[in-house]
Chain A
Amino acid sequence: MNPNETSAQPDASGLDRREFLRLSGTLAAAGALASAGCQPPQEQTIPFHDMPESLVDGMGRARFFHTVIDGGPVLVRTREGRPILVAPSPTDASGRGLTVRHQAALMDLYDPDRAKGPVSVRRGKGPTVASSWSVVGSEVVSRLAKAGSGAVLLTGPVASPSLAASIAALSAHTGLRHVAWSPVEPDAAAGACGQAFGHSGAPRPRLDKADLVLGLGAEFLDRPADGLERDFALRRSPEQAEGAKMSRFVQLEGRLTLTGANADKRFRVRDSQLAPVACALAHELVVVKKTGPLAGNAQAEAALAPFAVDAVAKTSGVSAEQLKGLAGELAAARGKALVLAGGSASGSAAGEALELAAVLLNLSLDSYSAGLFDEASAEQLPSGSAKALEALAGEMHSGKVTLLVVAGANPVYDAPASLKLAEALAKVPFVVSLNDRIDETSARADFLAPASHPFECWSDAALPRGIFAVQQPVIQPLNDTRGLLDVLVEWSAAAGVPGAAALVAAAAPVPGAAAAQPVPNPSLAWHFLRAGWAARLALEPGSAAFEAAWNEVLRSGAWQGPAPAAPPARTLAPAALALLASLPASPAGLELQLYPHLALHDGQHGNNAWLHEFPDPITRISWGGALSMAPRRFDEMKLASGDLVEVDAGHAKVVAPAYRHAGMHYDQVALPLGLGRTACGDIGGGVGPNAFALRLLAGGRPLSAALPVKLTRVSGNEALAFAQGSDVIDREARPLVPVTTLSEYEKNQKSGTEQQAGGPSAWPEHPYPNARWAMAIDLSKCNGCGKCTIGCQAENNVPVVGRRGIIDGREMSWMRIDRYYDAPKKDGRWDADVWDGPLEVVEEPQTLFEPMLCQHCENAPCETVCPFVATMHSTDGLNQQIYNRCVGTRYCANNCPFKVRRFNFWEYGKAQESALFRALEPRIKRNAELNTRAPMQMKNNPEVTVRSRGVMEKCSFCVQRIQEAKAAATREGKSKVHFPDGAVVPACMEACPTGAITFGDVNAPGSKVAALAASPRAMKLLEAINVKPSISYLTKVRNDKA
């Protein structure tokens, strides 16, 4: 460049240095201003006005309460006064066990559709008008005085002795009659036992003592009660104590149930044929083999005579050889064999005969005398009776009933249609409902005075094995509601029942001393309970001894009553055999079974989103139900999944989507009960078909099985919300579930865990010198009940996605139970079409359950691919997922071989308010309805982040509990290098009724999980791709040794 030549052009760089500096200085100042303006929103800290002393150590920590809900003893975890988790009571000695309904009770408590306070419903004519407890109370009490025996209290089954006592006292004083109605509990067993032995009450089988269990349509895993699932699991692993052996379970049933899916051998017998088959077995034992006390009993032999195996084999579809073989197996296990019925099939017209046949078999096998039954010792409390309801309906129609109080019953929805209860209600001059919302029955009442949730009020319960528990409130009532017991005591006092007025006086608040109330809880029920419990504990009310004993009951949750009386003699009353003679014939064509929905049961909790979203363990359908059909019939009718079919039972018709139900008997179809609520709230209203309409009342029993039906294909298809992809697994190609048979296992303990080995790793392993968390899941103990999934959902703030969400494939469950039908190797391998479920596989399905959750792989494929550092491994072996760092590439989920990662497709944590966008996308509205309406947020666990839209989430091994254990160790000055067993119990393990899940520090010396991981049965999935999971699955062993 020549400096002498001046340029006509300005300097092309445009900005000189000084100008640039000036500019950036300004910008820096602007940046500082901007960042000062970026202060996070100001938050407040609201302390107590006056902190209760009991909370001084409890801020920011969970508090636990033993209580009982719907007859289930539970441990409720609360935070800052809100229940956030319902877990099985760890100290429960009653063996009652829980159902998913107990676990999901939180959703009922925080149900936004519950009534907020008493209202005048005016029989559904026009809008409701707010009312008050005093108005309702005075109305009822004034009418009670006049009505005499025209006053009826209609309740569900009563599980509380105190409630029963208060009803009895009120009845005795006023003439109020009490009718209890339970829509789905089959009473055939009690009836048959009553007829056979002269005293009712079915004894409790001891599955932990039986070597052979024969199920006659038994459903002890579908309707878990009295801890049968726990007892059953104790004998289901091949490692048994000295002298014991793994039990064998043979099931005969028409519909593949959860119970039948756990059987070692399963025969398809339709419901109406179960009684003849059972009788044929009894015939073979008693008449042919002359086994047991009945052998030689002429009456018994005569009654069984028509049931020779050859005759029954013709009608039942089970061959004579099979029947004989089965009978031989039973005879060989005599004294160690149990025969169980009591499933949905017992709701058929032949149900009592079926139950009687089971009794005969048990008698012949010496099951009673060998101690395989515990005698029932629970206090006899009013349970449901269809006969009483039928009588009541008649009286209502004839106008004899002048006052009806409904409490915890919804007969308009669930009573047999022939009773015409809606019309009957219209003829009762005054109806008050104490249900918790304007449901089908309440809508036809004059007043609705909403009852509190059991978590809000005092009561008690009688549990099996002579145990009594107190139901203590764990939260103040959220709305203007009252406990049923409170209401009854108050009404009793107003009606002049002796003693009640004194309780009211005692409970009245002392004026002007709000801060120093001497009585901690002014609840009437509390006073009533204590009076009753003083008598039960045989202690002076108000004495120090009583207070101490009472506090101990509240602390431990239960009190062991006097030892059960000696078992009564089990000798057969010959008159009972008449039941066999009058056995009704099987329907010629198709027969229908109506079974209680596995989660929703009778539909009482029909607005519970967790229960709706809970996929049926067998059908894997959530949010609704379907007509289960045999695969062959389904194929013959050329149906597609969800095609609408009309079920015509003669007296009623129901349209339901069709489902190809594996293992279904060809001549049987089934529909779940408990769906199709029309008035329960915005969550469950209108979900699924209402099958209660198909029930038939006959002989005082609502028949729910072996109903003759016709099917007609009607136009339309209703997509079913399947929580699972393919049903079938070809284990030869995909060794993902370790399964073997007992005989194989005895030859080779590692059998069933064979899989392709992984290649060598290019890299050295990372060291894990301290604690390393791991889990072991024993598939022999897991029965697929799914309680772990609800426990997980509650603990970890997992949202619900609704029917559309499931159909869209946006389920959020961190833990799921995969259900497969095993397609065993046949001439080489299955081809690609195996995934459609060929008839060979699904007609006689071998069902496998596999709980699936994040495997916390040592070489986690998800971690490598996240560019944002949102997921990586912790030093104690956890696969961490950091929500606040996650930006949502979903790459990790794609690269997860187990597909356990869940993406927040929507904003589940808070409602998105924009009318335009809600109109554009109705799913946004539904999500808000399901997840974010007040007070639903109260259920959230504050220890777990509520995830926002657009982030990935997954099982964390309940890291919040791990962290709490670490913090506790620090506080207490203990070592944090290793943790003993039980220091950390994740929610799934806590909820598991069978002990199938074990969690702990695999590096801790002598830890249980380390021993299980080293077991020959242990298998870590997908060795071939070297991901090295932290979860060991223990082989499911099928007992093939007849």
Chain B
Amino acid sequence: MSLGRTPVRILMLVLAVAVTGSFAYAFSNVRKGYEPRQPILFRHTRMAGTPVWQTDATGAKVNVGGFGIPCVYCHTMPYKGRHSTVPSTAVCMNCHTSVGLGREWVLKMKDYWDRGEPIPWVKVHDLPDFAYYDHSAHLNAKNEKGEPKIPNKDAQGKPINQCEACHGKVETMEIVSVQNTFNMQWCLDCHRKPDMKAPTDCIACHR
């Protein structure tokens, strides 16, 4: 007699799969939390993090934090061009001709430099090819009062990094990961804020 239940069970199962699956798919988030391994273990915490001075055993003051190098030292273009750009190896060699020598990853980087090969970084923030994003148009955007639309000051008036708005606090990340969903909904959440006065035309991003 249990056969009477079987078709109903199958039907319920199919329905449950369909409903759960479609919602999972519709809201699936493929980007947030993406944290690929890079060919060189570059530590943004060390390069861009806040300096923390400690006195070591010998009494010398040692920076155990980061060097506080601004983002645009390496990623030169966000205010001027579409891409923020990934630095060429030559930028690393600005300093690493004299410092950090002998460290494993510095040596690996120098290996690439000596071979004349670019470093094959893995793209962390990867928008689909049909979405056209321009860093300069976002970072330079200003409201009527002439203030940047992407805030460069917090509520207390303390300067903050504009990059944080999307990329999060990269200077605190040992391995860079994607901090936001970077999907269309996320883009539009900002573009549709009334005080942003940002375009919501499709051609703003797709062409």
Which residues of A are at the interface with B, using a C-beta cutoff of 8 A? 9-10, 12-15, 20, 23-24, 27-28, 30-32, 34-35, 38-40, 42-51, 56-61, 872, 874-876, 878, 880, 882-885, 943-945, 956, 959-960, 962-963, 966-967, 970-971, 973
Contact = CB atoms under 8 A, between A and B. Distances in A.
Contacts of A42: 36, 122-123
Contacts of B36: 42
A966 to B, nearest CB: 7
Main secondary structure of the interface of A (DSSP, over half): loop
Given A49-B118, A880-B201, A963-B132, A971 B88 contact: no
B82 A23 contact: no
B207 A959 contact: yes
Contacts of A883: 130, 206
Contact of A970 (B8, B77, B129, B136): B136
Nearest to A38: B30
B5 A60 contact: no
B16 A884 contact: no
A50 B88 contact: yes
Nearest to B7: A14
Given A15-B9, A44-B121, A878-B201, 19 more contacts: A9-B4, A10-B4, A24-B16, A24-B20, A27-B16, A28-B20, A30-B20, A31-B28, A48-B90, A51-B88, A57-B77, A59-B81, A59-B82, A61-B82, A880-B203, A882-B202, A943-B207, A967-B134, A971-B79
Nearest to A874: B201
B157 interface: no
A172 B128 CA distance: 61
B129 A945 contact: yes
B32 to A, nearest CB: 11
Given A14-B12, A38-B28, A874 B202 contact: yes
Most buried by B among A47, A50, A959: A47
B110 interface: no
Most buried by A among B126, B201, B202: B202
A42 to B, nearest CB: 6
Given A40-B128, A45-B86, A959-B207, A20 B202 contact: no
Nearest to A870: B202
B137 A43 contact: no
Given A28-B24, A50-B90, A43 B126 contact: yes
Interface string B166-185: 00000000000000000000
B206 to A, nearest CB: 5
B204 interface: yes
Contacts of A874: 201-203
Given A45-B123, A971-B140, A32 B86 contact: no
B127 to A, nearest CB: 10
B203 A47 contact: no
Contacts of B136: 967, 970-971
18 contacts: A10-B5, A14-B12, A15-B12, A28-B20, A31-B25, A34-B24, A44-B122, A49-B117, A57-B81, A58-B81, A60-B81, A874-B203, A875-B199, A876-B201, A878-B203, A943-B207, A960-B207, A970-B140
Contact of B20 (A27, A39, A945): A27
Given A48-B88, A59-B83, A970-B137, A945 B121 contact: no
B21 interface: yes
Most buried by A among B87, B88, B112: B88
A44 B37 CA distance: 11
A878 B203 CA distance: 9
A47 B85 contact: yes
B108 interface: no
Contacts, number: 170
A24 B14 CA distance: 11
Interface of B: 1-2, 4-5, 8-9, 12-13, 16-17, 20-21, 23-25, 28-31, 34, 36, 76-77, 79-83, 85-90, 112-113, 116-123, 126, 128-130, 132, 134, 136-137, 140-142, 199, 201-204, 206-207
A266 B205 CA distance: 51
Most buried by B among A13, A20, A30, A959: A959
A948 to B, nearest CB: 10
Given A42-B123, A51-B88, A56-B76, A27 B17 contact: yes
A814 to B, nearest CB: 13
B92 to A, nearest CB: 10
Nearest to A11: B5
B8 to A, nearest CB: 3
Contacts of B2: 10
A880 B202 contact: yes
Most buried by B among A9, A10, A31: A31
Contacts of A45: 86, 121-123
A26 to B, nearest CB: 9
A901 to B, nearest CB: 16
A945 B207 contact: yes
A798 to B, nearest CB: 14
Contacts of B113: 49
B80 A57 contact: yes
Contacts of B137: 966-967, 970-971
Most buried by B among A42, A45, A51, A878: A45
B7 to A, nearest CB: 8
A35 B25 contact: yes
Given A45-B121, A49-B116, A12 B207 contact: no
Nearest to A966: B137
Contacts of A960: 132, 207
Given A48-B90, A59-B81, A882-B202, A970 B141 contact: yes
Nearest to B2: A10
A965 to B, nearest CB: 11
A741 B179 CA distance: 67
A963 B28 contact: no
B175 to A, nearest CB: 14
B16 A23 contact: yes
B141 to A, nearest CB: 6
A882 B204 CA distance: 11
A59 B78 CA distance: 11
A15 B207 contact: no
A862 to B, nearest CB: 14
A85 B146 CA distance: 37
